[in-house]
Amino acid sequence: MTVEAPAVRTERIDLGDGLIMRWSTAADKDDIGELMAEGFRYRALNRTIPKGYKPLRHDFIRAATRRVMSGHSAVMDPTDFAVVEDTNAKTGELRLVAGIGLQRLPGYYGKTDLQYGIGELVASLPKYRNRGLVRRLFTDMIHPASEARGDVIQLVFGIPHFYLQFGYIQAIRTREYVLFNNYDFIPKLAEGKKEPFTLRTPTRADLPFLLKMSTREAQNCPADIGFHYDETYWLYTAFETIEKAESYHDGDRISRIVVDRKSGEDVGLVIFSASAGLFWHLFTLNESPERGITYRETMFPILRQVLDQAREQWNGPLDKLRLELKTELEADEQRRQASDDPEVKFAPVIHPLLEYGTDRASRLAFFLHPSHPVRQICKANQYSTQVFPGYRGYVRINSYPRFLNKVAPTLEDRLAKSPMAGLSATLHVGFYRITEGASAKGLKLCFIRGKLIAAEDWAEPSDEAQVQLDRAAVLAADKKKKAKETRQQTNGNGEIKEDGTEGEEDEEEPLQLKAYFPPLVLSRLVLGELSFEQLKLAYEDSFAIGNDCKMLLAILFPVADHNADNFWW
């Protein structure tokens, strides 16, 4: 039986000792911001920490937290943080001591659109760690709430190995990128010349164009798994975050429309970010070679102008950034003097803007897909050979039946385009044991004439029970054989029974297929992170019985390209 999602999310749980687990409200914005800034205090993340000093609370993380709690975030609402509150906290102490944000990102799996539930900004204060608070937040709050709203998959990017204990496994990759040591490969514009293509800042009236130019089809990206740039993304990153910026760290994405100078026509779209460097995330173009509108002709005009705009962005808030750091240093100094260890020395962290200067030539990276024309141009001209793979996020598919029923159109499409088109088969997959993050010990998929008619939780029967099932199957086959013989006692052509009714066409017996995988490992196959053969090498207790089973698994779950642009919020 398929495991159903809970109907509602739990709102409040008393953990004892004055600790209350609950969902956030808009009034928690400041406190959650300080919780995350303190929880991430020792993490670098866009800054350098001098050795021998205690760093400041993390201003970059504080700003990100305040953005998602602002009420205009594209990924979550102010009520979507699961937090632990210490009701015994003294005056001056942080009352929120642990928390996890539940984000939502619209994405796709093959031809199927779905929503990814993202656990982000996971933190607890040092003296509350190793008490199981993060586990309770995940298992009692985040996971049930995500499933209750219809998410069939959860995803977390972050602490290495940590999330395995909560039923996650690495299975989705972020984008690979190419890194450049400097900007020397970008030719200077000839003196007295004007750029043939210009960039303009979009307005809300451009929203249809932004949506059109950021689709999967427009991106030159053949990925099977990834996230969409939808209307909420554009309203958030291109307008509201910039208009309502509170900190230097807000509104770091540079979204620009490419304009053909000759015609004045909007012909393309670019997305850069300029927080700790200059990163190129998207470039789409309505190519027209006969008019000179190609990726090759537009690449360098765009880079020159974006670099100039990024430098303006870096130069503009220097004083504001210095003031933010000075204010934070003074606040930490007051905390130091009031602490039990006044000898601790706080130091202002070194922000990349202050460390590298406004040129930051060592921080240029392209996060465009390897098949993108710009990447191909860079490769052919050897502008850079520093290519870095994306890192793998941690995935939780608690119910394979729910997930596979959701993406059934994609599975059926793959099957229809394969040598097994029209297949009727029952596939049993055993996981050896039930574990955290899995709804059952196995999975059963039933295909009839190429259609997935059932996806269910399944448990392999005991040896004794299997004997009974086999005997029942033999009896059923014998009964069917006798029924067929009866139908054949007709007027000679097999069309009319003795009682005068029409005969039934014999149904083909579905194939009976079986495979085994260690717990959770199937996620790496389902999400195309590894092929079946690669999975067998990585996990020797993964195997399929028979060539038909191997072939079906390869058809349903091919190696997939991933396109996860996720840290824009």
Q: Is the pLDDT of residue 338 over 90?
A: no
Report d(CA 44, CA 313) in Å as an integer.
22
Instruction: Say if residues 266 and 285 touch (Cβ distance below 8 Å).
Output: no
* Among 334, 348, 354, CA closest to 248: 354
Report d(CA 339, CA 350) in Å as an integer.
24
Kindly indicate the confidence band of residue 1, based on its pLDDT and cuts at 50, 70 and 90: very low
Instruction: Say if residues 90 and 338 touch (Cβ distance below 8 Å).
Output: no
Among 113-117, 200-204, 244-248, whose mean pLDDT is lowest?
244-248
pLDDT in tens, 92-103: 899 999 999 999
Residue type, 537: L
Q: What is the largest CA-CA distance in the chain?
A: 104
Same fold, 12-151 and 399-563: no
In the DSSP assignment, the letter for residue 186 is: S
* Distance, CA of 174 to chain centre: 8
Look up residue 110 and give its two tokens.
Answer: 């093959």
Answer whether CATH 3.40.630.30 is correct for domain 178-317+350-388: yes
According to DSSP, the residues that pair with 364 across neighbouring strands are: 180, 278
The stretch 356-360 carries a mean pLDDT of: 49
* Distance, CA of 222 to chain centre: 17
Look up residue 566 and give its two tokens.
Answer: 């996720």
* Among 102, 94, 88, 209, CA closest to 156: 102
Look up residue 81 and give its two tokens.
Answer: 């943080």
Name the CATH topology of 399-563.
Nonspecific Lipid-transfer Protein; Chain A (3.30.1050)
Name the CATH topology of 12-151.
Aminopeptidase (3.40.630)
> So what's the pLDDT on residue 498?
45
- Phi, psi torsion values for 523, nearest 5 degrees: -60, -35
Q: At what angle do helices 408-416 and 547-556 cross, to 10 degrees?
A: 120
Among 2-6, 79-83, 267-271, 510-514, whose mean pLDDT is lowest?
2-6
Report d(CA 81, CA 240) in Å as an integer.
21
> So what's the pLDDT on residue 3?
45
Report d(CA 160, CA 379) in Å as an integer.
31
> So what's the pLDDT on residue 5?
46
Report d(CA 24, CA 107) in Å as an integer.
26
Residue type, 486: T
Report d(CA 400, CA 452) in Å as an integer.
13
- Percentage of the chain with pLDDT > 70? 83
Helix, strand, coil proportions of the chain in percent (round to 5)?
35, 25, 40
| Three-state DSSP state, 314 | helix
Q: Is the pLDDT of residue 38 over 60?
A: yes
> How many other C-beta atoms can be found within 10 angstroms of the C-beta atom of residue 277?
21
Q: Mark out the alpha helices in 149-294 (DSSP H runs).
A: 207-213, 231-234, 241-243
Domain range summary for the chain, segments of one domain joined by +:
12-151, 178-317+350-388, 399-563
